[in-house]
Chains A and B, each alone.
Chain A
């Protein structure tokens, strides 16, 4: 059974800082891994999707990496802004059915 863990659970940084969010998973036979953003009381916004054959994906100030052998993924946020404050969730799919297993999330606060 796939288990997904995110560290840290909460993070507070000053504006402009580069930061890394960590995600680890137990089953290396991962089909894809997806990073989401969730604002309080809202649904999820998909940020990046990394297929098992890929090592990283980039979108704007975001870069996500995937290392299947070590069971890890990281989300790198460059030049953080207060608007980046949210909970970031990673989720892994073990097959094409896209049934996701979510990590507990990292609550990010970027202070002006």
Chain B
């Protein structure tokens, strides 16, 4: 089945530094990938939609200059948390669709970000 790989699975960084998270579709081409954030004991919230070769579409309340998304190829999207702060500590999950619009979304295993 479709596999979405996310790296790293966890990262600890100091406040003020930047962190890059990669999301790869291993056995299919994904024209669209989605980035979600999940705070403890809460459900997932969509942050942005990443389209290959174009700018990402951000959800209301998500700072595009803070969460930089790049989707340079059909198999790779990256999320960079710039100038991270402790309140950015969260679980970040990417997803991609394999097949047409009627196909289910497949998710990566997530990245646990802790900002100290």
A-to-B contact residues, CB < 8 Å: 32, 34, 36, 41-46, 49, 51, 89, 91, 96-105
Cα A42 to Cα B95 with chains together (Å)? 13
Which of A43, A46, A51, A99 interacts with B6 by CB under 8 Å?
A43
Out of B32, B101, B104, which one reaches A46, CB within 8 Å?
A: B104
Tell me which residues from 63 to 82 in chain B have a Cβ below 8 Å from any Cβ of chain A: none
- Interface residue ranges, B against A (CB under 8 Å): 4, 6, 32, 34, 42-46, 49, 91, 93, 95, 97, 101-110, 112
Chain A, residue nearest B102 (CB): A51
Residues of A close to B91: CB separation below 8 A: 41
A-B contact pairs, 24 of them (CB 8 A): A32-B102, A36-B107, A41-B110, A43-B108, A43-B110, A44-B44, A44-B93, A44-B95, A44-B107, A46-B104, A49-B102, A49-B103, A49-B104, A97-B101, A98-B34, A98-B97, A98-B101, A98-B105, A99-B46, A100-B34, A100-B44, A102-B43, A102-B44, A105-B43
With both chains docked as a complex, state the minimum distance between the C-beta of B52 and any C-beta of chain A, in angstroms.
Answer: 14
Count of chain A to chain B residue pairs whose CB atoms are closer than 8 Å in the complex: 57
Interface centre among A34, A96, A100, by most chain B C-beta atoms within 10 angstroms, is A100
B residues less than 8 Å from A46 (CB atoms): 104-107
Interface SS of B by simple majority: strand
The reply to whether B42 and A34 contact each other, CB–CB distance below 8 Å, is: no
Docked Cα-Cα span, A32 to B45, in Å, equals 18
List residues of chain B with CB within 8 A of the CB of A101: 46
9 additional contacts (CB under 8 A) given A32-B102, A97-B101, A100-B46: A43-B108, A43-B109, A43-B110, A46-B107, A49-B102, A91-B44, A96-B101, A98-B32, A100-B105
Nearest-Cβ distance from residue A6 to partner chain B, whole angstroms: 8
